[in-house]
Amino acid sequence: FETVGRSLLITQNDALWWVQLRRLKSIGTRCTAGSNGCGTLDARFNQLLESLSMDLLDKVIGDVSLQGNGMLDDFANRLTIIRGGLYVEANKHLCASARIDPLIARMWQLGQTPAAVRIYNND
């Protein structure tokens, strides 16, 4: 599938180590104004998750939240638009300077910076 109409939540999976959604291009295509929390990509507390392979993901209408994924070291994407906030926290193996900084720089160059950015306690 290429779109997720509302939100994509990947949370609290003790044995999940890899998510591959290589054709996914956008999240939140069916969100309406005022639909709180709609259009979110939320990957939290997946202790063994190493990779989110979303090579074509370009647009997220809501927030992108990567939090508490102990083994996450790869977030492959082509994101250019995050309308909500970008929250990357407590991912012990995710090198923020190698994975997240280029993402923010690309959005900055395109004039598409997220509404909020919080990055801390990562590798």
Q: Which residues pair with 18 in a beta bridge?
A: 51
Nearest CA-CA partner of 20 in 74, 69, 89, 66: 74
* Residue 32, token pair as written in the block: 């309406």
Cα–Cα distance measured from residue 9 to residue 62, given in angstroms and rounded to the nearest whole number: 12
**pLDDT given for residue 66 in this prediction:** 96
**Which residue, 30, 89, 95, 94, is CA-closest to 62?**
30
**Tell me: the pLDDT tens digits for 9-48?**
999 999 999 999 999 999 999 998 777 789 999 999 999 9
Using one digit for the tens of pLDDT, what is the confidence trace for 39-72?
999 999 999 999 999 999 999 999 999 999 999 9
Model pTM? 0.92
**SS3 state of residue 60:** strand
